[in-house]
Amino acid sequence: MARKPAAKKKTTAKKKGKYEFILTAKRKGALEITLNRPEKLNALNEAMCGEIIDAMASVENERKILCVILQGNERAFCAGADLSGFSDRPEDRYDNYRARYNARKNRLMFTYVKDYTKPVISAVEGYALGGGFELAMFGDFIIAGEAAQFGLPEGRHSLIPGAGGTQNLPRIIGAALAKELIWTARRISAEEALGHRIVNHVTPKGKALAKAREIVEQMSKIGPLSIMMTKQSIDRGLDMSLAQGFQQEADLAYLLTWSDDRKEGLTAFAERRPAKFKGQ
Ligand code: COA
């Protein structure tokens, strides 16, 4: 009797995601980006920064996506720039300088997050150090699990917090405390960060993402164009004189005059029903 051919081996090929260093998921109005390099505490390499930019760019015009949530894992949001990736070759030095604004993703990513037209919320558990903390500060606000730790330890490596840390941190907590934290590399707890208004909320361990999602749910009732313009107005205004700030605020308010959503918002109010915004 002829032997039955061996059953074809089932191939359970792992479905590969689009990215190597991040995971992405769309959930109830948010693009959730998970930094996913756990063996290196989510240290930022250039490819990961490029992936973050790419993922955010892919939904910027997607109207159902209202905001971006960044997260890591329970041990680390992000332990900063990948220290193993710092080039020491003398011949690279000025190429790195020339490329830093226009080509290096690990610099572009930070300003990309700052200038993004939708809110970027960081849900931080575990370490947020160096570039990890700087990334969270370039976002719009931070929610921290109670075991989160924040710090700018670059000085230990004779580096400086060069991804916005020496600019953003003093603007949040004042120059004197920022200097102390940078010059001692002291890590602060979520509770202390809350006291300094670095974070908006502290949650039980592991619940920062849930709190961020709750806030996204609340934001979904607000006109998305209003959120886009108020983000611009607040961020630009903080970099201007008060008089210039009022002026650009008035211009942005005027820009919304012709939106369908403004009409819908006012009509819905008059008709005592919830507004249905389209983002146009
Ligand atoms: N760049 C590259 N690798 C990093 C890293 C970074 N910024 N931070 C952590 N890692 C790696 C470690 O080298 C280690 O990898 P290995 O297992 O292959 O050796 C792994 O992540 C786990 O880190 P480890 O130091 O073993 O964990 P820990 O719990 O003892 O300490 C920290 C955690 C965050 C306190 C410590 O890793 C640290 O100080 N990291 C550097 C933080 C920093 O200076 N950031 C600013 C960079 S400019």
State whether the beta carbon of 72 lies less than 6 angstroms from ligand 1: no
pLDDT of residue 260 exceeding 60, the answer is yes
Residue 163 exposed, middle or buried by CB count within 10 Å (0-12, 13-18, 19+): buried
User: Which residue in the list 20, 154, 192, 249 is annotated as catalytic?
Assistant: 154
Distance between CA atoms of 264 and 242, rounded to whole angstroms? 31
State whether the beta carbon of 40 lies less than 6 angstroms from ligand 1: yes
pLDDT, residue 181, reads 98
pLDDT, residue 16, reads 58
State whether the beta carbon of 83 lies less than 6 angstroms from ligand 1: yes
How large is the average pLDDT for residues 2-18? Answer: 50
State whether the beta carbon of 80 lies less than 6 angstroms from ligand 1: yes
Ligand 1 pocket mutation, candidates 40, 44, 74, 133, criterion most atoms within 8 A of CB: 40
Annotated active-site residue 217? The verdict is no
pLDDT, residue 97, reads 84
Q: What distances in angstroms separate CA 278 from CA 69, 95, 119, 214, 246, one per listed residue?
A: 21, 45, 17, 21, 27
- Tell how far the Cα of 157 is from the centroid of ligand 1, in angstroms: 12
Which residues neighbour 232 within 8 Å (Cβ) at sequence distance 6 or greater?
A: 117, 252
Distance between CA atoms of 238 and 108, rounded to whole angstroms? 21
Annotated active-site residue 32? The verdict is no
Residue 29 has φ and ψ, to the nearest 5°, of 85, 0
How large is the average pLDDT for residues 219-242? Answer: 96
pLDDT, one tens digit per residue, over 35-93 is: 999 999 999 999 999 999 999 999 999 999 999 999 999 999 999 999 998 777 888 88
Both tokens of 247, joined, read: 């002026």
How large is the average pLDDT for residues 252-277? Answer: 95
Lookup result for tokens 């990736």:
85
Find, among 43, 1, 8, 5, the residue nearest to 22 by Cα. 43
- Tell how far the Cα of 41 is from the centroid of ligand 1, in angstroms: 6
pLDDT, one tens digit per residue, over 99-129 is: 887 888 999 999 999 999 999 999 999 999 9
**DSSP line for 42-68:** T-B-HHHHHHHHHHHHHHTT-TT--EE
